[in-house]
Structure 1
Amino acid sequence: MTVVPLRPLRPSTLATPAAPAVRRRRLLRPGWPLTWMLVGFPLWWVLGISSFIGHLAAVVMVLELARLRRIRVPRSTGTWLLFLLWVIAGVLVLQVAAPHAVPDTSMGRYISWAYRFGWYASATVALVYIGNMREHLTTSRITRAGAAMFLTVVAGGWLGILMPHLVFPSVLEVVLPGSLTHVEFIEFLIHPEVSQDYAQAVASHPRPSAPFSYANIWGLNFACFLPFFLHAWLGPDAGWRRRLALPLLGLATVPAILSLNRGMWIAVVAMAVVVALRSAAHGRMRSVVALGASVLLLAGAVAFSPLGDLVQSRIANPVSNDGRASLATLTVQSVLEGSPVIGFGSTRDAVSAFYSIAGGSSPSCPLCTPPALGTQGQLWLVLYSQGVLGLVFYLGFLGAWLLRGLRLPSPAATVGVCVLVAQVVTLPFYDSIGISSVAALIAVGLLWREDDDRRAAAGHTDPSDEYSLGGFIGLTRRHALLLLVCAVAGVGAGAAYQVSQGPQSVATVSIFVPEESELADVGREATLDTLAQLARDRQVTSAMAAAAEHPIDPDDVYVSADPNSRILNLRYAGSQPGAALAAVDAAGETVIRLRTELLDAERKDAVAQFDAQYTSGIAAVATVDESLDRLRDSGTGVGLETLENQRTALLDAAGRAAGRGARAAVMPLDAGQVVRPAAVTVSHDALVVAMGTGLFLGLLVGLALARVRGVVGAPLARVRDVAGSAEVPVIATLPARAVTPDGRTYADHELAWRSAVDVVRLHSPAAVVAAGRDEQSLLVAELLDDRSHDDGRTDAVRRLGAERAVVVVATSTTRLGRVRRRVAGLRRDDLDVVGLVLIRRPRPGWGTRLRSVITTHRKDFQWSPFLPKK
């Protein structure tokens, strides 16, 4: 009786020390790096590590993935890996001078390249992590983490509205030394910002940007994480969240409007249209009605509030359209002229402002410096950094999964499709480097999982058909020699092509053009932009062609200017250093000469104008004198004082005109002078671009050949591990001479034949089929099927529907690809391929081949000094 009260106490006593362990497991349950990266984003922002939290989370996710035996990857992964390969290619051309860009060699480009590549790699790891942790990382858990990120974006927007001038250092900014925190790029990464100043006429308030540095990045993340919030707080598993979803969306509308992000507005409208169309296509009309009512209610609330005037003002004043169009045009021209295949690896500073070649930041205009080439849109960033092929790979991967997701009806697939639609719609406007790139590949991960579920429900999923990371690694490892040969050939071809074009000798000269103080009074002052057109005159290119002794296209003369100065820079690239130097020297002299002739003509016109002013003034004085004489003769004194004052003013004006004309006639004309003499440097940039382009095009060709070779496959005789490569165990091996054409066996191979028959009987009832269509495989398959069955049936194909087990027969000359396709086809028909019977045909060595050639053509090899007898 005394023991009974102690029994309930024992479990509680044991549970006390075990509680912390349970709490730790819940805190760090599988999938925690991805959820913590999104849920804890406000903390990472305050700590100053939000700009590279994806890199840190990716390291942890890689450590967890390394424990798996098989790491699966989604379809179209090869296209994305090619894009990452093209990102790596950018390292080779980071120091290459790009057309229409400042020709400097900044080492900071390596930092910006590493930053962007780190986010691409982190997003890739998140994608693979979602696909391989599907048992632990559920869709609800992923969407709730994305919803938490959306709430963080909304809270940051309200923080930027309520406290736009809030400034505080991050924890990392306090810890790091000042020499690092004052670097512009480092400060951009670690310094918190709550708003972005907006100096245009359409608004007088800052645009919210917290927890990001720019309002456009805030708008992109708002659009990307909105579908996660809608699924988590309005979906079937929302629970108590559903009651708070609509009020939170109403609160989110205010910073969404005040951010003035037209691209984000377009993305939200596009996502609403996609959701409506998908709901209507799947018969969910209640969802369509609810969505339409919500949109109308929201639009009415905005229209009848002060936010409506702000929206109309923003739409009516597209102040950034011209600048974006000019920047996009320069970006496309630069990459197509300089490096169209692999791009330039990173962005470049534009050589001048859009309104003037001498424009730039100044105390009176701090924002006059244009954005860097390759910014203001992920489309332009990828095009400029990775070239045309890199853009094709990037858009190909996202486009393939967007189209694949449109066929999936589930709500999770709708989330993924909406995020990808937001990414595609904002490609020309916003740079999606950062957490938004992770959101895009999280969406692809959700679509990947839904696509797998659909294929499994349709019975088309088989473990052998799964894509795996080891498959891509094995492909490159098996064909390493082929890839090496193609890469070396590509580098050689690129180098040979550029060497045939000759080295690039870049010659430059700088001219200082003074202002025309005297002549400017008559409206004849020339700006550097008009002088830049003079530098492209036909006389200049003719003088350059004469000095270089070869024709020169006016487009080959590159004209720029130092910002906020009167210094004009002329640059010309040629194949010969001496010819390029002579050409640019002649260009400078010709420009100054033409400028002198223009000034001389303008002086003559100015002197003529001053003389005309003097003549007209003297004529007016004579008219006044006549009037004065008439008044004096008439004895009338009325108006004499007025006419005297007018006469004096006319004489003063005529005198000033005469003096200015005299000064203009003798004034020395300074058309300009060379401040930086002509100099030439031999540039290897074109060679670097050509070799880099050849290298990666060669790798691309090698990968294509390896893929084709992998599909076709090598003969089984050359495959080291037949069972591993064909994914079928080899259960028996037969010599090629074990079976005669009439079906009888040789005596010396009878034991091997009987062993093969016995092995097949062990797997019976099993049908035996041939992998190929060669006669020996078909004959052996028929004989084995006949000998291994007691009933004597020989038509194996007729029994495939009744017997689940199948044995495949192949010869050593059968291609691996044919065997794998045959096995995959049988498995798709719900058959169990239990083994492979391999018929080995001896492959003669070089000595045997040489002897056979000599034996066959023995008479041709015989030689005698005596003439043959007739």
Structure 2
Amino acid sequence: MKGPAWPIAALLVGYPVWWGLGFGGLAVIVLAVPMAVILWRRRPIRVPRGFGLWLLLLAGYGLSALMLSEMPPDTYGEFGAGRVIGYLMRLALYVSMLVMVLYLGNLSERELPQLRLVRMLGVLFVTTVAGGLLGVFFPSFSFTSPLELALPDWIGGNSFVQNLIHPTAAQTQKVLGYASPRPEAPFEWANAWGSNVSVLLIWFVVGWWVHGGRQRRAVAVVLMGLAAIPIVYSLNRGLWIGLGLGALYLVVRVGGRTRLAVCAAAVTGALVFAFSPLAALVAQRLDNPHSNDIRAFTVSATISAAGHSPLIGYGNTRNAMGNHRTITTGKTAWCGGCGHPPLGSDGQLWLLMITQGFAGAALYVAFFVGAIRRHWSDRSPVGLAGVLVMALVLLYMFIYDGLVTPLILYLISFALLWRNRP
């Protein structure tokens, strides 16, 4: 793409290439460099309302570095390179995403039309569906990326970094009592796939259905039908709840023929699903809520740890002492289920609590709540879709980590709302 919108096109349309190279969502760090240069050359820079909250969030994360060597009670671990690498990577991501939002907001409608940006997100939805199908039918697919080969072991061997740079089709977990592959390509985790596919589906509907002709709408129906397969096989209850609340939101907020169309589509989809083999899989997943005890333990431990540094947190995650089954730390020959789960690993809200304290978590919530309040009256397709995504952010923060790719999509959606104001 020619013109200043090329970094955004490279990120969204070119995402499969970044994934294959091993960058994935880390591509935003690479592309933030030319965005920052272009922004600097076109000063003064416009900023959105609520911008100060995000700056405070970043400032708080900077201060949290002072606590990297500290250990809250009932946690353990050694202060070393891994903790510092994780902190610096998150800091680079937060700053890069800030640059990305400012860049999008300072591009004119001529330089990057809203509909073109929405359809770029739609292209990424198609990529996500393809990755989901790959995870369903070829779950063992994986390969060593060029970035993985290039990085030294002391960086590439870090578990957080390894998840980001090693492309895999699916994440295998014992969700149903036996090994079950959950699609994650082309993202970093199965839960990231679930969060992203729901957000991208919203923008796909806006770009390919609301603003689409007859042929584009026909293709959209086929793609959404295909998307149902990995959505169900993801065994992702949070995703299912998000889609249900999204449908309810549309029924409440739109009127006339649109409301009737949404209701008719929902009823038709529910009937087709009920008589398909996928319904039994959903029922089996709901009968096996294996992660509830794990989440309850880590959330409780995270809140307790955050209480010892409520204003700036600890800069990075810590390992809990024991787990939800035993106080034993680490796996043993007689206890394969024992372990030391990382605190803040069950949702962005909890991650912010352990890394930035209650103050950081409150700033994050205030930023997205403020976006909903300011744009609630915008009843255009972009306005309705953007507010829905902001609402999903507040739901998903309890169950999904925002880093890396989910937060990129949340903030692009925020930028679409900002650009939509007169």
Q: TM-score, normalised by structure 2?
A: 0.95
Give the AA of the match of 2:140.
H
2:388 to 406, 418, 439: 418
Give the AA of the match of 2:187.
F
1:205 CA drift (Å) = 2.9
Match in the other structure for 1:397: 367
1:123 to 97, 100, 105: 97
2:129 to 150, 154, 158: 154
1:181 CA drift (Å) = 3.9
Match in the other structure for 2:40: 66
1:69 CA drift (Å) = 2.7
* 1:171 aligned onto 2:140: no
Match in the other structure for 1:387: 357
- Structure with the greater relative contact order (CA < 8 A, sep ≥ 6): 1 or 2? 2
1:367 CA drift (Å) = 5.0
Contact kept in structure 2, 1:170 and 1:191, CA below 8 Å: yes
2:338 to 354, 368, 372: 368
Q: Deviations over 1:435-459 (max 9, x none)?
A: 21121111111211223x1xxxxxx
Q: Deviations over 1:207-229 (max 9, x none)?
A: 11111232111101111211111
1:237 CA drift (Å) = 4.6
Over 3 Å counting, the alpha-carbon distance change for 1:123 and 1:178 in structure 2 is: closer
Contact kept in structure 1, 2:85 and 2:155, CA below 8 Å: no
Which residues in structure 2 correspond to 1:792-807 (within 5 Å)? none
Match in the other structure for 2:320: 350
* 1:217 aligned onto 2:187: no
Match in the other structure for 1:268: 243
1:98 to 66, 69, 72: 72
Match in the other structure for 1:723: none
The 1-side partners of 2:258 and 2:337 are apart by 47
Q: Deviations over 1:168-193 (max 9, x none)?
A: 21122234455654443432221111
Contact kept in structure 1, 2:170 and 2:181, CA below 8 Å: yes
1:104 CA drift (Å) = 2.5
The 1-side partners of 2:152 and 2:300 are apart by 40
The 1-side partners of 2:56 and 2:244 are apart by 32
Give the AA of the match of 2:400.
Y
* 1:323 aligned onto 2:315: no
1:432 to 385, 402, 421: 402
The 2-side partners of 1:419 and 1:274 are apart by 11
Which residues in structure 2 correspond to 1:189-208 (within 5 Å)? 189-202=164-177, 204-208=179-183
Higher gyration radius (CA): 1
The 2-side partners of 1:128 and 1:41 are apart by 20
- Residue 197 of structure 1 aligns to a residue whose secondary structure is strand
Match in the other structure for 1:790: none
1:292 to 263, 268, 271: 263
Contact kept in structure 1, 2:348 and 2:401, CA below 8 Å: yes
Give the AA of the match of 2:361.
L
Match in the other structure for 1:188: 163
The 2-side partners of 1:121 and 1:238 are apart by 39
Over 3 Å counting, the alpha-carbon distance change for 1:289 and 1:365 in structure 2 is: farther
The 2-side partners of 1:433 and 1:185 are apart by 11
Give the AA of the match of 1:297.
T
Q: Deviations over 1:677-696 (max 9, x none)?
A: xxxxxxxxxxxxxxxxxxxx
Q: Deviations over 1:576-605 (max 9, x none)?
A: xxxxxxxxxxxxxxxxxxxxxxxxxxxxxx
Unmatched 5+ stretches in structure 2: none
Match in the other structure for 2:4: 30
- Residue 123 of structure 2 aligns to a residue whose secondary structure is helix
Give the AA of the match of 2:51.
T
1:238 CA drift (Å) = 5.0
The 2-side partners of 1:90 and 1:396 are apart by 19
Match in the other structure for 1:133: 107
Contact kept in structure 2, 1:61 and 1:129, CA below 8 Å: yes
Over 3 Å counting, the alpha-carbon distance change for 1:59 and 1:376 in structure 2 is: same
Contact kept in structure 2, 1:166 and 1:194, CA below 8 Å: yes
Over 3 Å counting, the alpha-carbon distance change for 1:238 and 1:339 in structure 2 is: farther
Contact kept in structure 1, 2:351 and 2:401, CA below 8 Å: yes
The 2-side partners of 1:183 and 1:435 are apart by 19
* 1:86 aligned onto 2:68: no
Q: Deviations over 1:696-726 (max 9, x none)?
A: xxxxxxxxxxxxxxxxxxxxxxxxxxxxxxx
Give the AA of the match of 1:173.
E
Contact kept in structure 2, 1:194 and 1:213, CA below 8 Å: no
1:354 CA drift (Å) = 1.7
Q: TM-score, normalised by structure 1?
A: 0.47
Contact kept in structure 1, 2:75 and 2:320, CA below 8 Å: yes
Greater share of residues in strand: 1
- Residue 400 of structure 2 aligns to a residue whose secondary structure is coil
1:112 CA drift (Å) = 0.8
Q: Deviations over 1:220-250 (max 9, x none)?
A: 1111211111111102255632220011000
Contact kept in structure 2, 1:170 and 1:192, CA below 8 Å: yes
Give the AA of the match of 1:307.
L
The 2-side partners of 1:364 and 1:252 are apart by 41
Between Structure 1 and Structure 2, how many residues are aligned? 421
Contact kept in structure 1, 2:202 and 2:385, CA below 8 Å: yes
Match in the other structure for 1:471: none
1:106 CA drift (Å) = 2.6
* 1:334 aligned onto 2:272: no
Q: Deviations over 1:466-487 (max 9, x none)?
A: xxxxxxxxxxxxxxxxxxxxxx
Give the AA of the match of 2:48.
P
Which residues in structure 2 correspond to 1:509-520 (within 5 Å)? none
The 2-side partners of 1:239 and 1:72 are apart by 38
* 1:305 aligned onto 2:276: yes
The 2-side partners of 1:330 and 1:222 are apart by 30
The 2-side partners of 1:29 and 1:132 are apart by 13
The 2-side partners of 1:193 and 1:313 are apart by 25
1:365 CA drift (Å) = 5.3
The 2-side partners of 1:43 and 1:221 are apart by 18
Contact kept in structure 2, 1:224 and 1:423, CA below 8 Å: no
> Alpha carbon RMSD of aligned pairs, Å?
1.7
- Residue 206 of structure 1 aligns to a residue whose secondary structure is strand
- Residue 226 of structure 2 aligns to a residue whose secondary structure is helix
The 2-side partners of 1:43 and 1:366 are apart by 38
- Residue 18 of structure 2 aligns to a residue whose secondary structure is helix
Over 3 Å counting, the alpha-carbon distance change for 1:124 and 1:359 in structure 2 is: same
The 1-side partners of 2:291 and 2:240 are apart by 16
User: Identity rate of aligned residues, in percent?
Assistant: 37
Over 3 Å counting, the alpha-carbon distance change for 1:363 and 1:223 in structure 2 is: farther
